[in-house]
Structure 1
Amino acid sequence: MAVSLSSAAALPDSSGRLPIDEAPLRPIHVVAAAAVLGGAVLDGYVLGIVGPALRLADAELDLSALSQGLIASSALIGVFFGGMFFGNLADRYGRKPVFGWNLFAFVVLSLLQVFVQDVWQLVALRLALGLAIGVEYAVGSSVLAEFSRRRDRGVLLGCFSVGWQTGFTVAFMIGSFYDGDNWRLLLASSVVPALITFMLRLTLPETPMWLKARGREAEARAVVDKHFGPEYGIPHVDLNPRHASVAELFTAKQWRLTLYSGLFWFCQVGPFFAIFTFMAPVLASLDLDGSLAVDLSLNAIQIAGAIAGVLMLHWMSRRGFVIWTFSIILATFLALGLFPQAPTGLVIALFAVYMFIGPAANNIEFVYPPEIFDTHLRATGIGFSAAFSRVSAAGVTWLLPWLLERLGFSATLILMAGFPLLGLVLSVLWAPETKHKHLT
């Protein structure tokens, strides 16, 4: 059964102050958006650059299909542990320390890739980078939600996916135009967006909602007065000075929302990461490889899809968004898988549909979880959801080169159609409506 969450109009508190999420645009909104979305660009870049780098590293490292999959999926495995562990730390000890110094780890790990000598060293570093990316998913979206305006929150959180897609596409394009053979330098190039974002985050304060939830009223009031104005207050937050725990995600009141938050994400990203990480062999399976024009066109479609997804979040309900996008992806996978001998023009059109809808659908991954979980549990809940989703992302990415080699593209895509089918059924049964909900 679908769950409806409150989105009633805001009321002033006992002092006549409206909540900070009703405030007009302030500089803090811009700084928070830049600090978080810069991390989204970085995440996409780190995950996107590995595909082009592996093509260059293949000869030196003598990579098998399974070892290519392991290297590509290692960062996704790291996201599992990073989201689960660091999300809970951010609920316990604050968004700012975890969120800020995570970028320093990105800088160091990016540079260490220059010194890689074998497959296992590369797997270890990519795994560590995945831990850092897990922090971005769990804590970044919490920070952005808690600094956002209520009416704009869905669009702003959806821009996380646009930033991610931008970083992923930029990495793909840099890899496509790179004419050198130093794959280590290609991987280490993520240090540039990491440094820029790290400097931005040093200027961001702790979120007043987290401070209030921990009983630190005076500090929360000081942040609000400085960045929003004394005429605004903090929305009602249940005082919860004790440490958040993963067990709270599975109480009688919460368990269904928790499972849905992880499962819909799980169903979206499994096929997505596999197809986008190994774009070259996928295109070869469709007889579309080797054309720069095709590469440029598909990347333009991805960016257009990510932007369209933000507009869809503004116009559509949350339930409608996930139900319709899962339906379209399911139909596209089945058509491509069941009719491999279809005319080339139709195959290109169907694949372009997924290249558009896939990035569009991903926008809600950074909207639903922050709206589903309460403040004292938000980063823990998002971290659990991100971690759960990476089970499918890492597994399918690891196996995709092997599946393509053994089964071919059509049979592989029919298998992957199980993900949007499961997502569609779960969304019809469980998807909550959270649009314009007040964060509590």
Structure 2
Amino acid sequence: MAIAVIPTGPVERDSLGRLPIDEAPLKPVHIVAAASVLGGAALDGYVLGIVGPALAIAQHELQLSAISQGLIASSALIGVFIGGLLFGNLADRFGRRPVFAWNLAAFIVLSLLQLVVQDVWQLVAIRLALGLAIGVEYAVGSSFLAEFSRRKNRGVLLGCFGVGWQAVFTIAFVIGTFYHGDNWRMLLASSVVPALITFILRLTLPETPMWLKARGRVAEAEAIVARHFGPGYAIPDIALDASLASPRELFTAQSWRQTLYSGFFWFCQVGPFFAIFTFMVPVLESLRLNGSAMVDMSLNLLQIVGSIAGVFLLHWMSRRGFVIWTFAIVLATFLALGLFPDAPTWIIVTLFATYMFVGPVANSIQFVYPAEIFDTHVRATGIGFSAAFSRISAAGVTYLLPYLLLQFGFSATLILMALFPLLGLVMSIGWAPETKGKHLR
């Protein structure tokens, strides 16, 4: 099976001697774009990380069964599926900025609505709508940041999306775990604070010049480049396409394999990850690791360290090598935990700590790879498809995990989940493209 390799190409000046904007040194627009996107990543992590502890408090009041807990926890992930498909394409059609900015207004309203939830189905509906907003962050946020990033450090910068997400996901889990009150509605609604800050920040950003040029709005694009980058820089050659971007372009004879891979590698990473991290308390109980504050804090710290390590590995490793090795390590860890449930406690702790570290490491590439695989005129559509496809596994496994743990125990459940890294490893060996250092076009 042929391996797709995307050539990086040398740095070339245009006819006026100008360099591409992705060769520009650090500018204020880079900083604001990074802060606004990473703020959205942090908000996403908070929304998804706080739900597990909040459900533990709400369980008695709402009389939650294992199935209803899974439904509430997975509803935001189902929303990401819809939001990624819908809003990614809208951003390719009508612009990154309007979708990217006003998405935060929805976050603010939906966060506050959680204060008045009265039953399970109201909470499911609101979390589903929050998932739609999160889908925008994955599809449009990473597209926006990629088109405002410098080529040489693009992997590190986009990888920081994962650091922000993972750090705040973990912080939300810790806040919820050590919260001693009973107001679970306030826990869920507290996401309004970072949403408001990020919304204000995004209103200061321009449209990306790469998208404007791809849509044939060259004069507007050049004005933004002159204002934010200076006269020595220009937009690289981009295929002009004034027509409305169509998802069909993702599945041409030349593009279908890379499109499917972009969705599948993400699919295989996040299914087990979201399930285990959302229901950490019952998972730790199944592993006989509950009840120790030191263990809880150590494992949570490992997640943050792992996400930071992932950024460095993205800088040092090829994209192909990164996904192949992380899938291989996760597969070996799952099989060892599943096949040897009666191993000594220190071995169980070591193996689970390995996954707590490698899982966030692996997730770092989710915000880099798709942005590099797809061209500008369909980038948000492609990333949206990939994010949506990944949420099939994330929502499905998260929904089923409480039931599977109850019926089959953690060992059998983990062996089943090992199918995800196995599939990811096989597909990465056969299909993973190399995109490191590529000039976006």
TM-score (norm 2): 0.99
Q: Does 1:298 align with 2:292?
A: no
**1:221-272, Cα deviation, whole Å (9 max, x unpaired):** 1110111001100011100000111111000010000000000000000000
Corresponding position of 2:434: 433
Corresponding position of 1:420: 421
> What secondary structure, in the 3-state scheme, does the structure 2 residue paired with 1:319 have?
helix
What is the CA–CA distance in structure 1 between the aligned matches of 2:203 and 2:151, rounded to whole Å?
25
Letter in 2 for 1:278: F
Corresponding position of 1:334: 335
> What secondary structure, in the 3-state scheme, does the structure 2 residue paired with 1:274 have?
helix
Letter in 2 for 1:240: D
Aligned residues: 440
Corresponding position of 2:148: 147
**1:144-192, Cα deviation, whole Å (9 max, x unpaired):** 0000000000010111110100110110111012111000000000001
Choose 18-27 or 168-177, whichever is displaced more.
Answer: 168-177
Q: Does 1:109 align with 2:107?
A: no
Corresponding position of 1:163: 164
**1:26-52, Cα deviation, whole Å (9 max, x unpaired):** 011100000000000000000000000
What is the CA–CA distance in structure 2 between the aligned matches of 1:159 and 1:235, rounded to whole Å?
25
Letter in 2 for 1:235: P
How many Å apart are 1:9 and its aligned residue?
Answer: 1.6
How many Å apart are 1:55 and its aligned residue?
Answer: 0.4
Corresponding position of 1:4: 5
Long gaps (5+) in structure 2: none
> What secondary structure, in the 3-state scheme, does the structure 1 residue paired with 2:152 have?
helix
Q: How large is the RMSD of aligned CA atoms in angstroms?
A: 0.5
**1:371-411, Cα deviation, whole Å (9 max, x unpaired):** 00000000000000000000000000000000000000000
What is the CA–CA distance in structure 2 between the aligned matches of 1:291 and 1:87, rounded to whole Å?
43
Misfit runs of 4+, over 2 Å: none
Q: Does 1:188 align with 2:189?
A: yes
Corresponding position of 1:136: 137
What is the CA–CA distance in structure 2 between the aligned matches of 1:132 and 1:210, rounded to whole Å?
21
What is the CA–CA distance in structure 1 between the aligned matches of 2:3 and 2:162, rounded to whole Å?
25
Instruction: Map 1:244-259; keep pairs closer than 5 Å.
Output: 244-259=245-260
> What secondary structure, in the 3-state scheme, does the structure 1 residue paired with 2:205 have?
coil
Corresponding position of 2:359: 358
Corresponding position of 1:379: 380
Letter in 2 for 1:211: L
Letter in 2 for 1:350: L
Corresponding position of 1:215: 216
What is the CA–CA distance in structure 2 between the aligned matches of 1:308 and 1:83, rounded to whole Å?
27
Percent identity, aligned pairs only? 76
What is the CA–CA distance in structure 2 between the aligned matches of 1:186 and 1:308, rounded to whole Å?
30
> What secondary structure, in the 3-state scheme, does the structure 2 residue paired with 1:150 have?
coil
How many Å apart are 1:21 and its aligned residue?
Answer: 0.1
Letter in 2 for 1:144: L
How many Å apart are 1:294 and its aligned residue?
Answer: 1.2
Corresponding position of 1:284: 285
What is the CA–CA distance in structure 1 between the aligned matches of 2:177 and 2:269, rounded to whole Å?
26
Letter in 1 for 2:242: P
Corresponding position of 1:312: 313
Corresponding position of 1:21: 22
